Chains A and B, each alone.
Chain A
Amino acid sequence: MAEGPALTESTYYILLSLVKPRHGYGIMQRTDEMSCGRVRLAAGTLYGALSALCAKGWIIPLPTEDESRRKEYRLTEKGMIVLRAEVKRLRELADNGERALKEG
């Protein structure tokens, strides 16, 4: 399952943000921070991605006593496996890129 297709940049940053529990706006801010403002998650995109990721079981909403409070999400173990595999894949991409450019 780790050998899946590449994650989109949005998915990747959402998963990275959810290594710690965060609510929607927190994910947007964290992504902005990590990518130095390069990747901006728009709210509609994020909302759709969160429900898709929950359906896949890569993240889960944390239980809250108060329904009116902002919902927080966290990475699941399954999500962590996917994320580690993706980091490995990206490292391979970057390494190959640097090697090819040096040879060129």
Chain B
Amino acid sequence: MEDRKTIRKWFWVWEFEKEEDWLNEMALNGWVLESVGMCSYNFVRSAPGEYSVRLEMHPYDEAYLSFMQETGAEYIGRMMAWIYFRKKTADGPFDLFSDIDSKIDHLDRIGKFLSIIGGANLLIGLVNSWNPTRLGWINLVCATLLMYSLGRIHGKKEALKRERMLHE
């Protein structure tokens, strides 16, 4: 029986919760995430439900990783600005954010990231549209997608803000 497999899968940036749910479903079925690549996920066999998996966008921060390790979480790897963690379910519940404010902060981090690369693509796209190679449209398509993603993230944030008006 194979004890390792790689699955290629694409998630849009606003689907990070869906991605996390999928990784946890895999873990429930006895496949826990071991490393990540560009749109590819490497799994290794484990006892069904042995681990829970979490992911978040976080700038590279050695202190944060060791802090997470202190709390029993294991660092799996990073892809783009996303970091992946897992924790044995026997060691207690595993969440990265326990209040609305920190969930909003997280969405702000994602928003900032999207604005920066979206803005860069827009700029490069505009500059290149006067260029004889005419490849600027690629950047403009990327910029449009990134701005759309930003809108989706903003929508999530607004929903949380409405919730926060009543409780934390």
Taking Cβ atoms with an 8 Å cutoff, the residues of A that contact B are 8-10, 23-25, 28, 39-45, 47-49, 70
Contacts and interface: CB of A to CB of B under 8 A. Distances in A.
Contact of A8 (B56, B73, B96, B99): B99
B98 A41 contact: yes
Contacts of A45: 96-99, 101-102
B64 A47 contact: yes
A43 B99 contact: no
A53 to B, nearest CB: 13
Interface residues of B, number: 20
B105 interface: yes
A16 to B, nearest CB: 16
A43 B67 contact: yes
Interface in B56-109: 56, 58, 64, 67-68, 70-73, 93, 95-99, 101-102, 105-106
Contacts of B58: 44
Given A8-B168, A9-B168, A48-B105, A40 B70 contact: no
Interface of B: 56, 58, 64, 67-68, 70-73, 93, 95-99, 101-102, 105-106, 168
Nearest to A50: B67
Given A9-B168, A42-B97, A23 B102 contact: no
A48 B100 CA distance: 13
Contacts of B67: 24, 43, 47
B106 A44 contact: yes
B56 A44 contact: yes
A73 B152 CA distance: 38
Contacts of B70: 23-25, 70
Nearest to B85: A43
Nearest to A48: B102
Contacts of A8: 99, 101, 168
A44 B94 CA distance: 10
A42 B95 contact: yes
Contact of B71 (A10, A28, A39, A48): A28
Contact of A44 (B93, B97, B168): B97
A25 B97 CA distance: 15
